Structure formats: C-alpha cells, structure tokens
Amino acid sequence: MKKIGIDLDGVITSIGLINPSVKLPRWLYVFLLPVVLMVQPHQKEEIKRISLSNEIIIVSARPRWIQNLTEKWLRFHKIPFDKIYCVGFGKGTKQRKLQIIEKEGIELFIDNDKRMIKFLNGNDRIKTKAMADIKKVNGPI
C-alpha cells in the first residue's frame, strides 16, 4: 500500500475555493462557509478507486481552524481518506505542505496548482512525484 497525498480545493472539490496566494480576512471565510458545505465533490469515484489499494492523505491549504468541518464534509460525502492536514494558506504554504509530505512519506501528490507541482517535482529532498490529474493514477502506485 502506497501513500498518496491529495490537495482538496480544486482537486476533490470542483472549485479552488482556497487559493494560497490570495489573502482573505478570516471573517470572510465565515461567510464562505455555507458555500463550502454545499460544494459537491469533484473526483469522488476516482478517490474511491485509488483508496482501495493506497493510503489517502489529504493535505490542504485550508486554515487549520476549519479542519474539523472539512473532515465532516468529507465524511458526509463519503470521500475516503486516512488522514487530513490543513496547513493554512499564505506565505509558506508550499513549505508546510512539503513538511507533511516528508513526515508522512507521501510517494505521489496530486494538486491542481501548477506552481506546487513544479515546486515538488523540482525538490531534491523528496522522492515524491507530483501531478495534476487524479485520473492518471492506476491502481497501486
């Protein structure tokens, strides 16, 4: 069983609601919360398929204080996952995601952010392969 890391917004959800390069005040997320809860999962069947033979670790740039609600949303929509990390957005997001990837020994990371993919694929500290298309994952990696 291999470890696959998956970004949340823009990969599991169809919209990239949390963009690490956009700094919004915390109060605005309170108003966005109902929208987040109504968003339907985008790759549900793909994640179910790869979870049969791989460990799924979600690593999101969502703020840490929203992690509990995010877990509830995932369970409500029956999205399989083994662990979830909300590393927060803004300055240092890529480095915080990298820390989780190293800590967990993630071998494949799926993210819709091309800058994150380039950052991971160009990092000599890790052996993680990063890609954007979850549909290209075939069985155990």
77-113: per-residue pLDDT in tens? Answer: 999 999 999 998 888 888 999 999 999 999 999 988 8
pLDDT at residue 69 in the model? 84
pLDDT at residue 125 in the model? 74
Mean pLDDT, range 52-78, rounded to an integer: 90
Look at the chain and report how many structural domains it folds into. 1
More confident residue, 1 or 51: 51
- In the chain, the DSSP E strands lie at 2-6, 54-60, 83-86, 108-110, 129-131
Type of residue numbered 120: L
pLDDT of 35 over the 80 cut: no
pLDDT of 43 over the 60 cut: yes
pLDDT at residue 58 in the model? 96
81 in a structural domain = yes
Q: Cα–Cα distances in Å, from 48 out to 18, 36, 100?
A: 23, 21, 22
Least confident of 9-13, 21-25, 45-49, 61-65: 21-25
pLDDT at residue 20 in the model? 46
78 in a structural domain = yes
Can you give the CATH number for the domain in which 33 is found? 3.40.50.1000
Mean pLDDT, range 66-83, rounded to an integer: 90
What tokens appear for 55 in the block? Answer: 């460990």
> pTM of the entire structure?
0.81
pLDDT at residue 75 in the model? 92
pLDDT of 27 over the 60 cut: yes
Domain extent, residue 109, equals 2-136
pLDDT at residue 139 in the model? 53
What is the full DSSP assignment across 11-45? IIBSS----TTS---HHHHHHHHHHHHHPPBSSHH
141 in a structural domain = no
